[in-house]
């Protein structure tokens, strides 16, 4: 899916001239030039603004975790929410380094509601049902999660947004979503997630094959979310739709965020113009979705943490691309001779 950045070919030509007349050989900044073009087309100006960004982490639990698809127990989701709120996670450290604000959303963490003034409470329930044997959520829960996400995304005030997640079992959910929405074979989409051993990986494969057999081979995105999604993934998809409606650039993180972006694009293909793929996760399924969508990520650092960490690290490249278009001299400005 190549982003449909603007309906105006004349404006496209203006952007291309603005980039090509900078004091450099044409095309010499590679992917940054494509990124600058996307940002300018999205904002409809040759002087795009990319000064601020925010990370939102959506947290939710999965009923599948009880079946043993992860190396970590389900209570880690809740524990990590407190870690985010206290600023101790990798996402917090990267965000602080880059002067990016972080907010944490309870989309559906198992157990009693978490009472913390710093937490954004949008919980749909205390975790999803076990998608191996039944739908993860009802249609009304799915719609509520998407609506809550849309509200969060539409209210974004920064130029760009990063969306991350936390939810034990959510790589299993992402694998099933990609399988059902894109029709990709399931087995290659299943990876080690939190780092499962060989025996657990074999059990994970068996369980997800069992889950997949419950429904048709291909599902519409909204049905796939209800059957196999997590509250955090579904709410993130809604947030992407909301942020796109507000004209924001959305930096997509790894495998889990990619499954949300996949669902969101199937619900509204126009948001592809807003999506920048921050990095290629080491999680095998991520690369397969990127290939299926013909998507070109900015970074490949062998990461597979989630939390929005890969999206955060791509933010300086986004800022640099916009700054190049805004501030770099042209050949005429600098009185430098252009190509002969």
209, 186 contact by CB (below 8 A): yes
Q: Which residues are annotated as catalytic? A: 307
Cα–Cα nearest to 47, from 247, 326, 249, 333: 326
Site of tokens 């939190």? 194
CA angle 173, 176, 177 (to 5 degrees): 85
d(CA 306, CA 308): 5
Sign (positive/negative) of CA torsion 100, 57, 313, 74?
positive
Give the pairing type, strands 119-121 and 160-166: unpaired
State the CB neighbour count (10 A cutoff) for residue 187.
11
Give the pairing type, strands 53-60 and 160-166: parallel
Please report how many Cα atoms fall inside a 13 Å half-sphere around the Cα of residue 317, on the Cβ side.
21
């Amino acid at each position: 899916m190549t982003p449909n950045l603007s309906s105006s070919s004349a404006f496209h030509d203006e952007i291309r001239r603005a980039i090509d007349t900078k004091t450099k050989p044409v095309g010499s900044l590679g992917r940054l030039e494509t990124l600058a073009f996307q940002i300018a087309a999205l904002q409809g100006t040759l002087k795009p603004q990319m000064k601020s960004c925010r990370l939102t982490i959506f947290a939710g639990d999965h009923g599948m975790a009880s079946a043993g698809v992860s190396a970590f127990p389900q209570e880690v989701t809740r524990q990590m929410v407190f870690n985010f709120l206290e600023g101790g996670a990798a996402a917090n450290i990267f965000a602080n380094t880059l002067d990016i604000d972080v907010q944490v959303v309870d989309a559906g963490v198992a157990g009693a509601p978490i009472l913390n003034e710093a937490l954004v409470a949008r919980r749909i329930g205390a975790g999803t049902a076990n998608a191996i044997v039944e739908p993860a959520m009802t249609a009304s829960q799915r719609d509520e999660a998407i609506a809550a996400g849309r509200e969060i995304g539409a209210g974004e005030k920064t130029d760009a947004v990063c969306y991350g997640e936390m939810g034990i079992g959510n790589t299993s959910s992402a694998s099933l979503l990609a399988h059902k929405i894109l029709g990709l074979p399931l087995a290659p989409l299943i990876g080690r997630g939190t780092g499962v051993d060989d025996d657990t990986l074999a059990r994970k494969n068996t369980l997800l094959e069992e889950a997949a057999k419950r429904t048709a081979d291909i599902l519409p995105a909204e049905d796939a979310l209800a059957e196999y999604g997590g509250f955090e993934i579904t709410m993130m998809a809604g947030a992407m739709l909301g942020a796109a409606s507000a004209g924001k650039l959305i930096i997509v993180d790894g495998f889990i965020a990619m499954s949300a972006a996949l669902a969101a694009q199937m619900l509204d293909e126009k948001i592809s113009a807003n999506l920048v793929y921050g990095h290629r996760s080491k999680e095998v399924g991520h690369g397969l979705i990127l290939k299926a969508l013909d998507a070109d990520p900015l970074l490949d650092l062998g990461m597979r943490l989630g939390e929005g960490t890969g999206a955060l690290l791509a933010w300086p490249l986004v800022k640099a691309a916009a700054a190049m278009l805004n501030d770099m001299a042209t050949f005429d400005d600098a009185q430098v001779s252009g190509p002969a």
